[in-house]
Structure 1
């Protein structure tokens, strides 16, 4: 069963929407794998959207000169393009912007909660630190543990989602996502950035990951990824007790 359904619309042509029913089945099929994965909970799901939709999204993913990218060239990360959210993804194809919206949807949040067991997940519509990323030839991302708080909303980071859009990616080009153990003594999992591959992984201060070796892809190609981060709120000791609607007394006429 496909997790995406298509609808024809009079304004913008065909649109796709994530199927809540299909996503729930997918979550139940993978939740044991997610919880048992090493070095920390994660899951790799291939064929997430299907070849037709994934190929279309890959075809409109912006190249190095086709968007208002911010480039990062530091010791920890080099030849990495991102930060399109600074201008609200202006100029990015509508299909990719719609995908970002669907990653913030009820259907996808329900999927993540069923998959991971983390309840009360909150998406980030601003995609701070996330969104679209493109790493060019020679680029890399050093091993790291992700930031743990959304300081604007006072939320705790819980999950990272990565979706890859790289047709015909060759193993010799590198770019595998590496997951290392807490002691940083060995890489326990390698995940190639293949077209239509979804990765969901838990956040933790010792959840080391990255793609530290320089990319060897041809000039003109890049490692394309869509990232989304998810959070939960923490209970506050001074929060008011929960209640339903408070109805005003009926007024006599």
Structure 2
């Protein structure tokens, strides 16, 4: 079942919206597997948007020559392009920008909460550290555990979402997302970055993951991913007691 519905609009042509009904069905179908997955809670959902829409999004994903990419070449990560959010995704095709918006919307938040059991999820509209990523031939991302706080908003990181847009991706090219156990003694899951595959995984300081081997895709190809991070707020002892609306007395 595709999680998107297509609608024709007179202003900008075809657009899509995530279906709350379809997403709830997906969440209920996969939440048992999410909770029992090893080495830490995660789920892999194929055919998330449907091949026609996913292929269209892949076709407008920014290429390596996009001037707004920021390239990272370090020991931990090499030939990795990202940070388009620094320019507010200027020049990125509207369909991809709309997908990012949908990932921050009510239907997708409800899906994540039903799937994972984590309530009160808060998206990051600034996509700090997230957004669009493109890894080129020879690139890699070393095993790591993600940052745990949104320091700008004093929020705790809870979930990572990855959506892959790589048509015709071949296993020999590498690039599989590896999930390792807490003591880094073994890889317990490998997830190929194939077209229209959604990955949801819990955050944790021992939730090691990455794609550490150098990509062997052909020149001109890259590993394209859309990433979104989700947070929760922590209770504060200084917070005022919650109340409903306060109505002013009616003057007569």
Same fold per superposition (TM over 0.5) = yes
Shift in Å, 1:2: 2.3
Q: Secondary structure at the match of 2:14?
A: strand
Flag as ranges the 4+ runs of structure 1 deviating above 2 A.
none
Aligned to 1:37: 37
Aligned to 1:172: 172
Match of 1:241 in 2: 241
RMSD over aligned Cα atoms:
0.5
Q: Secondary structure of 1:218's match?
A: coil
| Counterpart position of 1:106 | 106
| Alignment partners' CA distance in 2, 1:158 and 1:207 | 12
**CA positional deviation for 1:3:** 1.1
Counterpart of 2:94 in structure 1 is 94
Tell me, in whole angstroms, the C-alpha distance in 1 between the residues paired with 2:227 and 2:184: 24
Q: Deviations over 1:40-92 (max 9, x none)?
A: 00000000000010000000001100341000000000000000000000000
Tell me, what secondary structure is at the counterpart of 2:16? strand
Match of 1:6 in 2: 6
Q: Tell me the CA shift for residue 243 of structure 1.
A: 0.5
Give the equivalent residue in structure 2 for 1:202: 202
The answer to whether the 8 A contact 1:19-1:107 is kept is yes
1-structure distance, mates of 2:51, 2:6:
14
Structure 2: give runs of 5+ residues left out of the alignment.
none
CA distance in 1, matches of 2:214, 2:82: 17
Task: Please tell me whether residue 151 in structure 1 is matched to residue 158 in structure 2.
Answer: no
- Per the alignment, residue 211 of structure 1 pairs with 211
Aligned to 2:73: 73
Helix, strand or coil for the counterpart of 1:9?
coil
What is the rounded CA distance, in whole Å, between the counterparts of 1:19 and 1:128 in structure 2?
A: 26
- Matches of 1:244 and 1:237, distance apart in 2: 19
| Contact map agreement 1:177 1:192 (CA 8 A) in 2 | yes
Alpha-carbon distance between aligned partners in 2 of 1:149 and 1:200, rounded to the nearest angstrom: 18
More divergent stretch after superposition (7-16 vs 198-207): 7-16
1:54 corresponds to 2:54: yes
C-alpha separation between the residues in 1 aligned to 2:144 and 2:167?
Answer: 27
CA distance in 2, matches of 1:222, 1:194: 12
Instruction: Say which SS state the counterpart of residue 8 (structure 2) adopts.
Output: strand
User: Which residue of structure 2 aligns with residue 27 of structure 1?
Assistant: 27
What is the TM-score with the length of structure 1 in the denominator? 0.99
Matched pairs, number: 252
Contact preservation (8 Å) 1:67, 1:92 = no
Aligned to 1:83: 83
What is the match of residue 122 of structure 1? Answer: 122
Tell me if structure 1 keeps the 8 A contact 2:2–2:47. Answer: no
CA distance in 2, matches of 1:101, 1:177: 24
C-alpha separation between the residues in 1 aligned to 2:34 and 2:163? 16
Q: TM-score, normalised by structure 2?
A: 0.99
Contact 1:67/1:91 (CA < 8 Å) preserved in 2?
no
| Distance in 2 (alpha carbons) for counterparts of 1:215 and 1:200 | 23
SS in 1 for 2:194: coil
